Amino acid sequence: MAGGGGSDLPPPGLWIGTAAVEKVAQVNTSPETPVATASQFLMRVIVHVDGQGTARLLQHVTQMWKEGTYRPDPADPTKQVVDEPGRYVLIADDSLLPQFAGSGLRDGSAVGRRVSSASFAFRDPIPMESGGAFGRSLDFRVTLGYRDPLNPFAHRYHPDHDNKDERFERVLDESAESWDVTRDLRFEFTAEDPDRLALPGWGDLRAGGMFRETIHGIHRDDIRVEGTFRLERVSTVSILDDGIR
């Protein structure tokens, strides 16, 4: 996959799609070899690629609008001309949203267009592991700390899962009551659609291939899953958070 103008970089922008889990390893019988599931489990995947080709996995992103600016017309200072035109921006840091205007209308009010994935619990964008490249293969490591309120072992209202001692004073170490959960994700791109569908724009506006994930911490043994994925470029904006962060 290459960008326009003969560039070796992938087309930058926002890519959204789905990973379909079709095989899961049985930890007691086939821990190393995932076996077919009765049906697919679908996960929304959101990936942003910047102008340097670096891919980041997102849990959420909001399309907003940055108002243009004006300056006095050199030919007639009593008039204003456009200095910088307004443009769409992609915001992954929710604290920045008040700095921008909405990009769409809802009940007559300007609002942002937000997309998120319920399959992930991290907050900040996660850059790809070194050595990968969008269009060939991407690796991401998603870690959920043992004290994170969204950790499946943690429970706000159960004293045996609050990671505190019996007097609710001292914070316990990891593995005393809960464990860190780590997900190693791999996206391996293929030259053709993984199901050999004839989809227009493949390799330019659409991409996909094989998906693999290894989950550490949920079970004493790693859990391995496999499937396929497809992504579609929905925005050409190559900068996240308007370069503020």
> How high is the pLDDT of residue 156?
74
Q: Give the confidence band of 157 by pLDDT, cuts at 50, 70, 90.
A: confident
Higher local confidence (pLDDT), 243 or 47: 47
Sign of the Cα torsion 117, 118, 122, 128 reads: negative
Strands 223-235 and 206-216: antiparallel
pTM metric for this prediction = 0.88
For residues 32 and 226, the model is more confident at 226
pLDDT band of residue 5 (cuts 50, 70, 90) is very low
Residue 66, CB half-sphere, CA atoms under 13 Å: how many? 15
Q: Given the structure tokens 């991290």, which residue do they identify?
A: 122
What is the share, in percent, of the chain residues with pLDDT greater than 90? 60
Region of poorest pLDDT, from 23-32, 34-43, 209-218, 234-243:
23-32
**Nearest CA-CA partner of 5 in 204, 191, 192:** 204
For the chain, what percent of residues have pLDDT higher than 70?
A: 96
pLDDT band at 216; cut points 50, 70, 90:
very high
**Is 7 a residue whose pLDDT tops 70?**
no
Mean pLDDT in residue range 177-205: 90
Go through the domains of the chain in sequence order and give each one's CATH number.
Answer: 13-145+180-243 (2.40.160)
**Distance of alpha carbon 33 from alpha carbon 66, whole angstroms:** 49
pLDDT at 10: 72
d(CA 227, CA 207): 15
What is the pLDDT at residue 4? Answer: 47
pLDDT per position as a tens digit, 169-188: 788 888 777 889 999 999 99
φ and ψ of 59, to 5 deg: -90, -30
For residue 27, the model assigns a pLDDT of 84
Q: Beta strands 30-49 and 69-73: pairing type? A: unpaired
Tens of pLDDT, residue by residue over 126-139, are 999 987 889 899 99
